Structure 1
């Protein structure tokens, strides 16, 4: 299967202006971008025009969990303006987290309520993981399992393979476990442990993940696109180009 490929603009947030990056990403072969707050917040209509001018789509965007809880209609309107289908809360800070099943079940319930609100507009809600969701709680259970069990079947999953590897967990197993929920796959790659350059992240294919092997599981999911991301590249263009060239080079 040939997947559509989106670029997470968070990757190049330190190289403004973002609008100037869009035609370059299109020329590299990207089909879409996945923005994060505040890239689209000031003027969603202008941001949409910039995407249209570059010939890029927006399949989903990252947003705060608090926005889904407290301002769902505002972010639903933004999704409709951008032409996005998926609202994606990606994180809760370490200060917010509590090491209990109840905390993560409550988080899942918030996502579920957001999904209910979004569904009437033809939109979906997905959670994006980091590493902490896969670290067992004191009772031995995992946050990720509580989030999705409490969230219900309408909460989708944008799975970040790089963060799962950093949690010491096998991403193939998690792709299989959550296959029916996975709506997008982030091909984030990580360098060997102890690497300090670029915070230990690297272009897809340049790190320790065996993507050819892992990709054998992709077709089991509901995902129709991949998302390229790097948390802090020193050269965003090199990262973006090497990543998409590698992904296309292995037939994805």
Structure 2
């Protein structure tokens, strides 16, 4: 079973040589990249190769990475052997609260970027947080606007952030199954627990019904599953517990 690990989860557990070895030893076969490992993409690719890992997907932030910096981003993606490139978050304007017009404008930029990335041979998509599910002043939901006005983009669903945004991931999986390709597998701690980890939990240790969610995601055709924890106090513990739980789903 191929299981991926978002290396952002281990950004405070470096050196990367130790992180990559631990991930491989635990049974992961894939990782997902972020900007912190792109400085010398060739060297990081060699490290992955040495441990039998691949990097099918990566995060590139901000959206300018697919606009003015597109050439560099594509070079990084090629060096690391990616097939899917995701923009992982909006910038401050959208995080701090804005209107539907600005979300539609963002969607139009994503659609333009998507065509360029697709033309270069890569899939392109959006990774959500909670901002996309908070009702806008006119009552609309930003995630719906992004998918409507950027009809070519894929969606990497971060399921736990959907829940934190107050939405039902099963509803979104059912409605947008043709757009979903990749999922972040992350858990939410019971109320009051794991305060030092921003309320996140290792997969299988939290409140989400991952068995049911996995059935829905697989049914929608999702074929890349990425373990992630935004702030683990022990990245190796998170990696070990999470892959063990995931194998039961």
TM-score range (shorter-chain normalised) is over 0.9
Residue equivalent to 1:69: 67
C-alpha distance in 2, partners of 1:68/1:143? 21
**Aligned 8 A contact 1:176 1:220 in 2:** no
Gaps in structure 1 of 5+ consecutive residues:
none
- Provide, for residues 192-218 of structure 1, a one-character-per-residue CA deviation record: whole Å limited to 9, x for no partner: 233313110011110000111222212
Secondary structure of the residue aligned to 1:61 is strand
**Which residue, 78, 81, 98 being the options, matches 2:79?**
81
Secondary structure of the residue aligned to 1:172 is helix
Query: What's the offset of the Cα at 1:222?
Result: 3.1
Query: What's the offset of the Cα at 1:219?
Result: 2.2
Residue equivalent to 1:157: 155
Gaps in structure 2 of 5+ consecutive residues:
none
Secondary structure of the residue aligned to 1:38 is helix
Task: Give the aligned length.
Answer: 246
Residue equivalent to 2:215: 216
**Aligned 8 A contact 2:94 2:103 in 1:** no
Query: What's the offset of the Cα at 1:68?
Result: 1.0
Q: TM-score, normalised on structure 2?
A: 0.94
CA RMSD of aligned residues (A): 1.4
**Which residue, 178, 182, 188 being the options, matches 1:190?**
188
Q: How does 1:35-54 map to 2 (within 5 A)?
A: 35-40=33-38, 42-54=39-51
C-alpha distance in 2, partners of 1:175/1:18? 34
C-alpha distance in 1, partners of 2:215/2:27? 23
- Provide, for residues 42-73 of structure 1, a one-character-per-residue CA deviation record: whole Å limited to 9, x for no partner: 21111111111111010111111121122112
**Aligned 8 A contact 1:34 1:62 in 2:** yes
Query: What's the offset of the Cα at 1:95?
Result: 4.1
